[in-house]
Amino acid sequence: MGERVPSGEGLRATLFPLDGPLRFLLLSSFLIPLGSFMVLPFMSVFLHERLGMGLGAVGVVLAVASLVQFSGGIVGGALADRIGLRRTMLWALIIRTAGFVGLLLALRWPPLAVGALVLTCCGAALYLPANKAYLVHGVDDERRPAFLAAGNAALNAGMAVGPLVAGPFVLSSPGWLFVSVTALFVLVTAGHARLPAARVGESGGEAGGQPAGQGLLAGVAALPFAANALAFYLYFHFQHFLAVYAVERATSTFYSLVLLLCFTLVIVVQPLASGLIRRMPYATALTVGFTGLAAGLAVLAIGTRPALLAGGALITLGDIVLFLKNDLEALHRSPRSDAVVFGQQRLAAGLGACASGVLGGQVYGLTEQAGNTGWFWLLAAAQCVLLPLLLLALRERPARHPTPMMTTMKEH
């Protein structure tokens, strides 16, 4: 039995001492989204106002880019299984750096912007499964939640800081902004080239000990995959549509404050709660997580500023439990390598986010026409109660390990 990890002291004892490569990887988990979110959140404004694209075309471009960035993770996991974690991360960063160079060149030749944006999303899709697998390789089962949570915290910190740094320069000085982000990615890529190669899959094509011909979805853990898709489908109602809802009732500045609160909760709470989430039975975690989403979405329907803050907080607490526990359970149940499992979970996230955009957009439009968009959030909350019942049909055979508390590492 491992020590509890809810306190700050216990968390530090779990994470440290960290060797140099893992320290660099956690730093990169902050710097990469920092650079990306200095650009990507403003792409709709940049494409529309700077490059003159119509809003309909902008919406299609962003939808395709999002789908590539999420669902392409399954290719990233398979590639890491074939050529190794470090080499996959390195190629992913090279591709992503090329994408930011393309955005810089698009200032002179605008049509290049679309391909450059998709290229950056391809790099992101390839990078994340290998990054997470490298981070937890060699870490026993009891410490893995803390390492994953620390990586998520670094990721969210970069996502929170990036827009604050870049906001004043996106339209006034985009050239210097793209140059700065490109330079940052060049440095991070160079650092990855110096990471040790003695990691899973760095020699030959036997990463995870799986036959090279296995399909991308072979060995998928059906319940965590479906639960992850459903969690992202419900969460992205909040992610996709809160902006238009909140700005109508408050201001864009207040909307930014809501997002900052959500990022801060992930950064602070998830690492501290990682041990508790690990020990929590899967059924309990699903119940807690979907209940948090349901409560938060229902509170948003009130529409006041306090309700926006409270709803965002409840939704974030729900997804803190769901997203981490689904990854841990998928690792626990699947016979595939860590990178492949993370890629499969990213595919589930992409399918859920895409479905949320398509179906949620239609429902939001109907409630807007009816003159009461509060009903959109109540309908989403009702789905948080009803749809998880479908997961009961996906109960599968017991996990490969006798209990989730065991510390035996997955053999690669």
CB-based contact 237:380 (threshold 8 Å): yes
Give the mean model confidence (pLDDT) for residues 76-81. Answer: 89
Please tell me the distance from the alpha carbon of residue 10 to that of residue 275, in angstroms, as a whole number. Answer: 9
pTM equals: 0.76
pLDDT computed for residue 135 by the predictor? 85
Segment 36-49, tens digit of pLDDT: 888 876 676 677 77
Average confidence score pLDDT of the chain:
81
Only one residue has tokens 């499969």, namely 344
Confidence label for 293 from pLDDT (cuts 50, 70 and 90): very high
Please tell me the distance from the alpha carbon of residue 68 to that of residue 62, in angstroms, as a whole number. Answer: 10
Q: Which of 270, 249, 281, 365 is nearest to 319 (CA)?
A: 270
Please tell me the distance from the alpha carbon of residue 269 to that of residue 313, in angstroms, as a whole number. Answer: 11
Name the residue type at position 392. L
Q: How many other CB atoms are there within 10 angstroms of residue 397's CB atom?
A: 6
Please tell me the distance from the alpha carbon of residue 337 to that of residue 344, in angstroms, as a whole number. Answer: 11
pLDDT computed for residue 286 by the predictor? 95
Segment 308-324, tens digit of pLDDT: 999 999 999 999 999 99
Please tell me the distance from the alpha carbon of residue 36 to that of residue 389, in angstroms, as a whole number. Answer: 37
pLDDT computed for residue 30 by the predictor? 92
3-state SS, residue 3: coil
Please tell me the distance from the alpha carbon of residue 315 to that of residue 297, in angstroms, as a whole number. Answer: 7
pLDDT at 409 over 60: no
CB-based contact 350:67 (threshold 8 Å): yes
Which of 72-81, 186-195, 322-331 shows the lowest mean pLDDT across its residues?
72-81
pLDDT computed for residue 358 by the predictor? 78
Please tell me the distance from the alpha carbon of residue 163 to that of residue 172, in angstroms, as a whole number. Answer: 15
All residues at 6 or more sequence positions from 178 whose CB lies less than 8 Å from its CB, including other chains: 39, 100, 103, 104, 107
CA 117, 177, 264, 349: dihedral to nearest 10 degrees?
A: 10
Q: Which of 161, 386, 375, 145 is nearest to 269 (CA)?
A: 145
Confidence label for 289 from pLDDT (cuts 50, 70 and 90): very high
Q: How many other CB atoms are there within 10 angstroms of residue 109's CB atom?
A: 9
Confidence label for 156 from pLDDT (cuts 50, 70 and 90): confident
